[in-house]
Amino acid sequence: MFVAVLWRRRVCQAAVCGSRSYGKLHPSACQTQRLRIFQSLCDRLATGAAEEHKASRADLTIRLADGRTVKGSAGVTSPLQIAKSERVKGAVASRVNGALWDLSRPLVEDCELQLLGFDSLEGRQVVWRTGACVLASVMENLFSARVCREGVSDTGLYCDYQLQNNALSLLDVEQRCKQMAAGKIPVIKLEVTVQDLKEIFQVSVSSSF
């Protein structure tokens, strides 16, 4: 599982991405603990979301970029489901009422939906973000590197890391990334609080931020 974590206070991003600190735990123990905490948070939020969906499920009217309208259910229908039902190929992200929206995130109200492909800047950055997650996971799990940060720019992706063994073959890294990407492991994004973030990564985030 690739883990993409969001936090609600944007000013914390620079402080945390600049240098992750995992305390005194062994790297493998850190990974296991992070996944355990992350999964517990996912389960907790999924339970709450399921209750909301049961209470809602109102009919939706969704207007597509070409002017057509389709029907859906609040809290159930996602842009990805619409892309599949309408046979829209190459969609990697979407805009809902002008705001970026994950393909797998259920819609909640009547809206205008735009499906985005790799030919859009947003679409490229979604693909690159996934690539950054793959690269960071390979560096950390297969090469025992300490990943400091990963992300995207307007021109591609990056991954900053520290490696004790400098004899690193970029071809080997590329092959490992291709192998991992071929496994189609899902990328799971979760919005968390600062306290949750500190627990996941065992970092200290000043309350002054």
Q: Which domains does the chain have, with CATH numbers?
A: 56-116 (3.10.20.30)
What pLDDT shows up at residue 31? 66
Average pLDDT over residues 189-207: 70
The backbone torsions φ and ψ at residue 177, rounded to the nearest 5 degrees and listed phi first, read -65, -40
Average pLDDT, the chain: 79
Q: Are residues 82 and 73 in contact, defined by beta-carbon separation less than 8 angstroms?
A: no
Copy the structure tokens of residue 66: 């070409």
Average pLDDT over residues 119-147: 90
Percent of the chain with pLDDT over 70: 76
Q: Which pLDDT score is estimated for 109?
A: 92
Tokens of 152: 């995207």
Minimum mean pLDDT range among 27-31, 136-140, 148-152, 165-169: 27-31
Least confident span in 2-6, 47-51, 54-58, 70-74: 2-6
pTM metric for this prediction? 0.68
Q: 112 near 72, Cβ under 8 Å? A: no
Q: Return the minimum-mean-pLDDT range out of 53-67, 125-139, 174-188.
A: 53-67
